[in-house]
Structure 1
Amino acid sequence: MNSQQLDHGTILIVDDNPANLDVLSDFLDSSGFEVLVAQDGYSAIDKVHYAPPHLILLDIMMPGIDGFETCRRLKENSETKEIPIIFTSALADTVDKVKGLSLGAVDYITKPFQQEEVLARVRLHLKLYFIGQELAQQNSLLEQRVSERTAKLNQAIQELQTAQVQLIQSEKMSSLGQLVAGVAHEINNPVNFIFGNLSHANEYTTSLLEIIQTYQEKYPDPDEELQETLEELELDFLIEDLPKLLKSMQVGAERIREIVLSLRKFSRIDEAELKPVDIHDGIDTTLMILHNRVKVRSSSPAIEIIRDYGDLPEIECYSGQLNQVFMNLLANAIDALEEKRDRTEATRITITTSMVSQQRACISIADNGAGIEESVREKIFNPFFTTKPIGKGTGMGLAIAYSIVVDKHNGSLACLSQLGQGTEFVLEIPCVQPRSNRPAPDIQEVSS
């Protein structure tokens, strides 16, 4: 703070004596200050509000409100409380000085005063005032910088945590996919063996039953020993039940083949690149895997699955990642219906697909659960945000789903919900990904 800045401050002189005003104002004006004057407390307060000075020389004994009351009112106002006030008065009692300082004044000059003393005190308190203002400004700037850096650090930490969870999730899904694909492959061989031989077993059984029937026609009266054996083995029951048994085995083998096919489609280890796929196939395989969670339980009914599929072309996407999105959205829908199922109320999930334009497909997954309140819905895609109890969820399922749809597929994912009216997740993705979204030829995309 240089002397030139100190000599250009604005000073308000408040005194009901015109002679004192003239002397002080002329002297301070000639010393380079900008001078304002007021002859009573009310007009002083008004001037301070519309033209705040840097310092106030305030007389004590004035008509209307005295200097003490004027000072008190100025110090109570947040906009004027920082302006330094120097009392000027003929009252020299210590009690008056102490009272003035206790009200917030910074100094006290006794009349009659020396001009050099006034100038020295004015410059001193202006210097202190400007230093205080500069320190306050620097402190505010420092707080702003600290706040900005803290926000950037928090954002970096959150991005790091998100990246770590996504990496863990990606590795988990990749490992799960490899495990599922391996198990499916191992199961597939014996199942195919069983399935392939069931037709022969059925044919052989039919032939044997024909032979037995021919024997019964040719020899209707078997001897006593054979008759006892036939009755003991319940031949009539075997003839009736054996075809049913083989049929049940065939149905079971077909079911295992369907499950194995669904597991292989869901893992998509060999289809991690961007390629056209049947979206409905991905949804169906995901539902197959979640079948155990939607079927009838001992204490609650099954969740009704309504498929309202439109006429969609093959969608160019990372099918393994998109299956993960379907898994997260459907699992959340099932979770939302658990309380309703416990009350044995009707529950349903409606999956609707359609084309919203010639270039974009829409997939809607809606449930008839309790719905989500607005304050929760606004944060539902935020990383680590979850309404589930500790240990029941990481808060990353929907965040990862959002990232896969928006970042990986240039699409959109929205949550529509009202309390008591269920929840709907609406997913839109382009049918053909733009060139900017395609990986370089020498980069292999890792399935997550």
Structure 2
Amino acid sequence: MENSTVLIVDDNIANLGVLSDTLDQAGLEVWVAQSGKVALERVKYALPNLILLDVMMPEIDGFETCRQLKANPLTKDIPIIFMTALSDIANKVEGFKLGAVDYITKPFQQEEVLARIKLHLKLYELNSKLEEKNALLEQKVTEVTQAYTDLQQMQAQLIQGEKMSSLGQMVAGIAHEINNPINFIYGNLTYAKDYIQNILELLEMYQEDYPKPTPRIQAELEDIELDFIKDDLLKLLNSANTGTQRIHEIVKSMRIFSRVDEAAVKAVNIHEGIDSTLTILHHRLKARPEHPGIEVIREYGQLPPIECYAGQLNQVFMNILSNAIDALDEYHQQCCFSGKINRSGKIYISTEIIRDNWIKIRIMDNGLGIKEEVKSKLFEPFFTTKPVGKGTGLGLSISYQIVVEKHGGKLHCQSVPEKGTEFIIEIPIHQQLEEAMPAHCVA
């Protein structure tokens, strides 16, 4: 309470003198004001620790003065003690409603006045210290919360980084191992087709020159159905050729998707990355007994090569497209259980240049959509709406970091319940040098 300041507001000079002497002798600093108007002006320049406020004053009475003091954020917490010769309950109640902490009735008992003032100054001091400690505690809580959030993000980065690094290396390794035998098969199928064609032509020549086969040969011809074999054999070779081409495309897509040898920023064809991701997810898009197929509608704009971390951006496409497929699977299951008409599942992908040096990639599904309370948490680490064991809650969080932090872009979600969800990716065509930093979230 040392060096505490008390502002006395009273239009009676005698009262001001008596109270000033009493408080001054008690070691308190005293300010005086002879009206509510003067008091309101006085507190604009310096704040007292306590205010003694007379009720009955000209121009602005004590109640109105108190009301204005409590309405001011700078003075609302200063304790106010009313002084009045009125002893009726109504005035006291009115004072307490306005925020007064106590009431002193005239004529004053100096010891009582001093005791009440010291009590409320002590309470004010304790309350101020409590507020300081609360503010410090809130700051500590904020720091701890931020540290926990940072730890979660770091954890997510490490988990996803290790996961995607291992996945990328595994995919690249598998693609390499498959590529050699497939190239061997694919290269030799052409020769095999030519050889078989020659043999069939030779067989036809034999049939023309020796139209009457021996009984043993005739029996064998009937047994093996030579005409069917001649017709079906070329079809089998064509099917094998188509199959090896398909495997070759998958291997190429796997290599494009993993891009483990492209850790730095490199100008790439974004459409190749999207298509490679769709190729890898093809088994989830085609019709199966448990659900119908999902149609993918692509509307690609004319884009130049985009400078980016290609492997990481492909992970973003994988995460968003996988979630879209999950949403459509869930929609189909709900329709089956509820008996609702099941609309065919569709995923729309479009790309365009939206302004100089920026592109927009939109990936939309026509599934169940996302509730507003869920949408606000989509990019938080470890947040997932999937059942235990079905999702880690890292995919969209890592995707956000890749798009926003790694590429200086934007990633946001638009969704209407029961209508579908759209993710919009915006990234610059050219990366700035300060953004071209080594990858933190993917090795």
State the TM-score bracket (shorter-chain normalisation).
0.7 to 0.9
Letter in structure 1 aligned against 2:103: I
Aligned to 2:428: 430
Which protein is bigger by CA-based radius of gyration? 1
- CA offset at residue 332 of structure 1? 1.6
- The answer to whether residue 336 in structure 2 is matched with residue 318 in structure 1 is no
Letter in structure 1 aligned against 2:380: N
**Aligned partners of 2:65, 2:308: CA distance in 1, in Å?**
71
Indicate which of 130, 140, 151 corresponds to 1:149.
140
Letter in structure 2 aligned against 1:175: S
**Aligned partners of 2:9, 2:365: CA distance in 1, in Å?**
72
Aligned to 1:287: 278
Structure 1 contact 170–447 (Cα < 8 Å) conserved: yes
**Aligned partners of 1:321, 1:260: CA distance in 2, in Å?**
19
Structure 2 contact 55–63 (Cα < 8 Å) conserved: no
Q: Give the match's secondary structure for 1:356.
A: strand
Q: Give the match's secondary structure for 1:416.
A: strand
**Aligned partners of 1:290, 1:261: CA distance in 2, in Å?**
14
Q: How many residues align?
A: 399
- CA offset at residue 201 of structure 1? 1.2
Aligned to 2:250: 259
Percent of residue pairs bearing the same amino acid type? 43
- CA offset at residue 409 of structure 1? 0.9
Indicate which of 78, 81, 84 corresponds to 2:102.
84
Segment of structure 1 superposing worse, 412-421 or 322-331: 412-421
- CA offset at residue 5 of structure 1? 3.6
> Counterparts of 1:111-122 in structure 2 under 5 Å?
118-122=109-113
Letter in structure 2 aligned against 1:286: T
Structure 2 contact 349–364 (Cα < 8 Å) conserved: yes
Letter in structure 2 aligned against 1:300: H
**Aligned partners of 1:39, 1:263: CA distance in 2, in Å?**
88
- CA offset at residue 401 of structure 1? 0.9
> Counterparts of 1:35-46 in structure 2 under 5 Å?
37-38=54-55
Give a deviation string over 1:369-400, Cα, whole Å, max 9, x none: 23233333333223333333333323221121
Aligned to 1:55: 81
Segment of structure 1 superposing worse, 50-59 or 370-379: 50-59
Aligned to 1:333: 324
Q: Give the match's secondary structure for 2:350.
A: strand
Distance 1:225 1:36, change over 3 A: closer
Structure 1 contact 9–54 (Cα < 8 Å) conserved: no
Structure 2: which 5+ runs fail to align? 25-29, 33-51, 71-78, 336-341
Distance 1:50 1:407, change over 3 A: closer
- CA offset at residue 131 of structure 1? 1.2
Structure 1: which 5+ runs fail to align? 14-20, 89-112
Aligned to 1:296: 287
Aligned to 2:408: 410
- CA offset at residue 87 of structure 1? 6.2
Structure 1 contact 272–446 (Cα < 8 Å) conserved: no
- CA offset at residue 119 of structure 1? 2.4
Letter in structure 1 aligned against 2:137: V
Q: Give the match's secondary structure for 1:270.
A: coil
Q: Give the match's secondary structure for 1:385.
A: coil
**Aligned partners of 1:27, 1:358: CA distance in 2, in Å?**
78
Give a deviation string over 1:37-87, Cα, whole Å, max 9, x none: 4579xx77566545787434666xx6xxx5455445544x2722xx23356
Aligned to 1:237: 228
Distance 1:316 1:36, change over 3 A: closer
**Aligned partners of 2:176, 2:16: CA distance in 1, in Å?**
100
